[in-house]
């Protein structure tokens, strides 16, 4: 198969992450209409997103390992079928518990089949321009707020929340199943190019990988980064509405964040290819923390737009860099398993934000403490990232026991 097919993998991955993560994050758009129509509490509805992230975390590890063993195509095909089914079932939920179980568990399980396996597959296809390629796949997450979220808001306005969620589920089937069929393993020469660990065909020992300083710092940074931005992202539409922004305009802030995230992914990915991943990651984490603190001082639509550009480009830009680091440290042979494990930790971090933000709003009727706490956690993520060990061949061989 021609190595040029790698760009088909990038396009398919971008589409799948856009639809899958966009459908999951659209709960931020559904939250208020569901609460109004059903009387369910905001914290109860938001807890479905917390379940999403917890299940997505453990699922990402399991699906990542499965993609290493069986290939990514079967994994994303299962996820494509499961995601549509989960959304259809959630649209028929009659109780909060039923909704939490279907949307929280099934959607999270389905979404976890796409991100880690497709990112891992992309890193295996690319040697040069790896940062850009991974950023393009991850860019699907940035496109989602510009596409899935406004589409969800329009459907809710036209048909109420249940038919809207049903139609998004059917749309997921129509888009994801054909895209999943395009996914292929890389040719052997593409998979092995530039690999530190595949020179003799040996497979690194996972027990040593997960105890290594490289993985510990990777996992903790990813966890703290996601714990910092998850709450503000999820509750941003509701926060803007409280500040007096009209509902559709509030959704547009979410879309501006997504557009900025798309640009940030391309910018940060290109910079990482040129000057190295670590300095770009640390800089992005610092910008994210500063933007989170600044949300305490905005209230007008124009101010929200300006800050959304800064915040969206920062958190969107740093997200793909964790996969690039995982590939550079650990090679392609176990990238699905390793990045799946790191994604599990990041998803546990993401799980805190929606639930804590919902509790803060129900308790204090504002989000000030959410932004203060998120900014502090964001600074912690930058501090942890400074501890990334250098990429040295001899160090890798000593840590993982792979002969040269």
Query: Count of alpha carbons within 13 Å of 128, Cβ hemisphere only?
Result: 2
**Cβ partners under 8 Å of residue 363, min gap 6:** none
CA of residue 342 relative to chain centroid, distance? 12
> Helices in 319-367 by DSSP H: which ranges?
321-330, 335-364
The alpha-helical segments, DSSP class H, found in 71-114 are: 72-91, 96-99, 108-111
Q: What is the pLDDT of residue 202?
A: 56
Angle at 18 between CA 221 and CA 305, to 5 degrees: 75
DSSP readout, 120-178? HHHHHH-STTHHHHHHHHHHHHHHHHHHHHHHHHHHHHHH-HHHHHHHHHHHHHHHHHH
Q: What's the rounded Cα separation, in Å, for the pair 325 and 218?
A: 8
Conformation bin of residue 236: beta by default, left when phi > 0, alpha when psi is -120 to 50? alpha
C-alpha distance from residue 323 to each of 73, 121, 338, 383 (Å): 19, 11, 9, 19
What local confidence, expressed as pLDDT, does residue 22 receive?
A: 85
The Cα–Cα gap between 186 and 131 comes to 17
Q: Which residue has the tokens 């109780």?
A: 95
Higher pLDDT, 69 or 297: 297
Query: How does the average pLDDT of the chain come out, rounded?
Result: 83
- How high is the pLDDT of residue 347? 77
Tokens read off for 313: 């480009």
CA 354 – CA 360 distance, rounded (Å): 10
Average pLDDT over residues 145-164: 85
How far is Cα 209 from Cα 186, in angstroms, rounded to an integer?
A: 23
> What gap in Å lies between CA 314 and CA 267, rounded to an integer?
10
What band does 139 get if pLDDT is binned at 50, 70 and 90?
Answer: confident
* Residue 34, CB-side half-sphere exposure with 13 Å CA sphere: 29
In order of their start, the domains of the chain are 3-400 (1.20.1250.20)
| pTM assigned to the model | 0.71
pLDDT score of 238 more than 70: yes
- Say what percent of the chain tops pLDDT 90: 26
**pLDDT for 23-82, tens place per residue?**
888 887 888 888 888 888 877 887 887 788 788 878 888 888 888 888 889 999 999 999
The model's confidence at residue 190, banded by pLDDT at 50, 70 and 90, is low
- Phi first, then psi, for residue 105 (nearest 5°) are -90, -50
Encode pLDDT of 77-128 as tens digits: 999 999 999 999 999 988 999 998 899 899 989 988 988 788 888 887 877 7
Q: Which residue has the tokens 């290109």?
A: 270
Task: Quote the pLDDT of residue 333.
Answer: 73
């Amino acid at each position: 198969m021609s190595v040029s097919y790698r760009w088909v993998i990038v396009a398919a991955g971008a589409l799948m992450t856009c639809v899958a993560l966009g459908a999951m994050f659209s709960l931020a758009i559904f939250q208020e209409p569901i609460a109004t129509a059903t009387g369910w509490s905001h914290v109860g509805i938001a807890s479905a997103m917390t379940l999403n992230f917890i299940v997505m975390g453990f699922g990402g590890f399991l699906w990542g390992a499965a993609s290493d063993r069986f290939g990514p195509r079967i994994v994303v095909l299962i996820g494509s079928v499961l995601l549509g089914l989960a959304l259809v079932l959630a649209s028929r939920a009659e109780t909060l518990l039923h909704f939490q179980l279907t949307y929280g568990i099934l959607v999270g399980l389905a979404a976890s089949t796409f991100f880690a396996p497709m990112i891992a597959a992309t890193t295996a296809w690319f040697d040069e321009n790896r940062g850009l390629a991974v950023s393009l796949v991850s860019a699907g997450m940035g496109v989602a707020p510009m596409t899935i979220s406004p589409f969800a808001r329009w459907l809710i306005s036209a048909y109420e929340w249940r038919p809207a969620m049903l139609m998004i589920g059917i749309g997921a089937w129509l888009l994801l199943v054909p895209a999943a069929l395009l996914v292929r393993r890389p040719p052997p020469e593409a998979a092995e190019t530039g690999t530190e660990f595949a020179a003799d065909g040996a497979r690194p020992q996972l027990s040593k990988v997960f105890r290594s300083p490289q993985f510990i710092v990777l996992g903790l940074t990813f966890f703290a980064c996601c714990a910092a931005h998850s709450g503000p992202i999820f509750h941003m539409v509701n926060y803007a509405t409280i500040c007096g922004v009209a509902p559709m305009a509030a959704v547009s802030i979410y879309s501006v964040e997504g557009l900025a995230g798309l640009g940030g992914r391309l910018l940060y990915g290109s910079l990482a290819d040129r000057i190295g991943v670590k300095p770009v990651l640390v800089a992005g984490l610092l910008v994210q923390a500063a933007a989170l603190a600044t949300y305490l001082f905005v209230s007008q639509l124009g101010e929200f737009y300006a800050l959304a550009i800064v915040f969206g480009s920062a958190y969107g830009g740093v997200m793909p860099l964790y996969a690039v680091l995982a590939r550079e440290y650990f090679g392609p042979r176990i990238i699905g398993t390793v990045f799946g494990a790191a994604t599990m930790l990041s998803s546990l971090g993401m799980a805190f934000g929606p639930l804590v933000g919902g509790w803060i709003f129900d308790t204090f009727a504002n989000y000030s403490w959410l932004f203060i706490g998120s900014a502090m956690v964001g600074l912690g993520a930058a501090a942890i990232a400074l501890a990334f060990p250098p990429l040295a061949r001899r160090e890798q061989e000593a840590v993982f026991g792979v002969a040269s």
